[in-house]
Chains A and B, each alone.
Chain A
Amino acid sequence: EVQLEQSGAEVKKPGEPLRISCKGSGYSFTSYWIAWVRQMPGKGLEWMGLIYPGNSDTKYSPSLQGQVSISADKSVRTVYLQWSSLKASDTAMYYCARPTYSNTWGGFEIWGQGTMVIVSS
């Protein structure tokens, strides 16, 4: 079964670093882009960026470039979303997602269960 398994919920303070993860299974991990999608409380979906684990080619949303970092470790079939210094406005549900086809950046057929990140002093 094709799955994306995300790390658990996090409660952090402003200014703290954080890395959340998304582990793929049941498919050729290096052959599909993996995206991160943000959903702030009560709001819509926001495309943050994506990575191709085969060569770590990464694309970012211009509005988030420099705010987060996306990386991949092929050896453990895992993609990461990282912050160096969290802000309260980073409070959101974060999903990882995989497209239906290996050569596209969307049409996300496979989704992780989501990781809730709460940033509060």
Chain B
Amino acid sequence: EIVLTQSPGTLSLSPGERATLSCRASQSVSSSYLAWYQQKPGQAPRLLIYGASTRATGIPDRFSGSGSGTDFTLTISRLEPEDFAVYYCQQYGGSPGTFGQGTKVEIK
């Protein structure tokens, strides 16, 4: 089973700042099958990025994903008020398709 470790656990930033979230895998993720999700309280997760770097439908271009192998990054170029939420990475190159433990992006 591939273990995903996200860092930091919490990121305290102000609107307009840049957010950089990390996701490290315990072994190489096949074919860059790495996704990022955003979840707000009381809501289902929303897909942001799949295939490590492809934005999902309707996702603003301030969200970008990069990385390969075992190291992946989600970058939010300029935080908007609606971006404060919890973010999860997920690998789906094999079974089980594990999630990271999440990074909370909170308002500073």
| Chain A residues engaging chain B, CB cutoff 8 angstroms | 35, 37, 44-47, 49-50, 59-62, 95, 97, 99-100, 104-109, 111-114
Interface residue? B101 (CB, 8 A): yes
CB contact between B97 and one of A100, A105, A112 (< 8 Å): that residue: A105
Interface residue tally for chain B (C-beta within 8 Å): 27
Shortest C-beta distance, A3 to chain B (Å), equals 12
B70-108 vs A, CB cutoff 8 Å, 1 = contact: the mask equals 000000000000000010101110111111111000000
Question: Is the pair A45, B47 in contact by a Cβ cutoff of 8 Å?
Answer: no
Whether A62 touches B56, Cβ cut-off 8 Å, given contacts A95-B44, A95-B45, A106-B35, is: no
Task: Write out the residue numbers on chain A whose beta carbons fall within 8 Å of the beta carbon of B100.
Answer: 44
Asked if A107 and B88 make an inter-chain contact with CB atoms under 8 angstroms apart, the answer reads no
Q: How many interface contacts (CB-CB < 8 Å) are there between A and B?
A: 75
Chain A residues near B46: list those with CB within 8 A. 111
Give the CA-CA distance A49 to B35 in the complex, in Å.
Answer: 17
- Whether the pair B102, A111 counts as a contact (CB closer than 8 A) is no
Q: List B contacts of A47 (CB < 8 A).
A: 90, 96-99
When A45-B88, A114-B44 are in contact, do A107 and B99 touch as well, CB less than 8 Å?
Answer: no
Bound together, the chains give a CA A121 to CA B56 distance in angstroms of 42
Q: Mark B21-34 against chain A: 1 for CB-CB distance below 8 A, else 0.
A: 00000000000010
A-facing residues in B1-55 (Cβ within 8 Å): 1, 33, 35, 37, 39, 44-47, 50-51
Task: Please name the residue on chain B nearest to A106 by beta carbon.
Answer: B92
